[in-house]
Structure 1
Amino acid sequence: MACNACMSSLFKEKLGRCKQCMLINLVMLIGFFAVYMMVDIEQWLVVQQVTFLMFFAITAILMALHLLLWCFYRLTDKY
């Protein structure tokens, strides 16, 4: 990976700093939203529904954290 934030092994050091990680997370979020809209999950087992929705929620929370910290670093010039 090219950026210094990705070279760090600490997860919190990457939040909001690594554009590649943010792009991957955005693609996952959009992809899972598209699958959610195309597939009728009512026909799935309850365990499958919960797993799918939890993964979608966790991806959305991670994207929100990335955006929140990206804004923080831009406003405080700590980037």
Structure 2
Amino acid sequence: MGLVPTYAAVGAAAPIIFLILRVIQGLFVGGVTATTHTLGTESVPERWRGLMRLENSWNLQISNVALPVRQVWRATHALL
């Protein structure tokens, strides 16, 4: 876990510190994702901007489907 202290070192504070840091990380990733989509859309020629925006939303939809499918597949194969 990097610089997060272990449970043995600080007790129940360790998972709380870890969760707080993960929430902060999620906030930063959300900001970076929105910025990169905007920059990616604006940096291409005008005639391709619609296609770039569409491609960005396709990636999101594909990941929304692929993650649950993968989780179900892993769960069923872990039982074998």
Please classify the TM superposition score into its range, dividing by the shorter chain length.
0.3 to 0.5
Counting helix residues as a fraction of each chain, which structure ranks higher?
A: 2
Higher RCO structure (Cα 8 Å, ≥6 apart): 1
Report the TM-score when normalising by structure 2.
Answer: 0.41
Report the TM-score when normalising by structure 1.
Answer: 0.42
Which structure has the larger Rg over C-alpha atoms?
Answer: 2
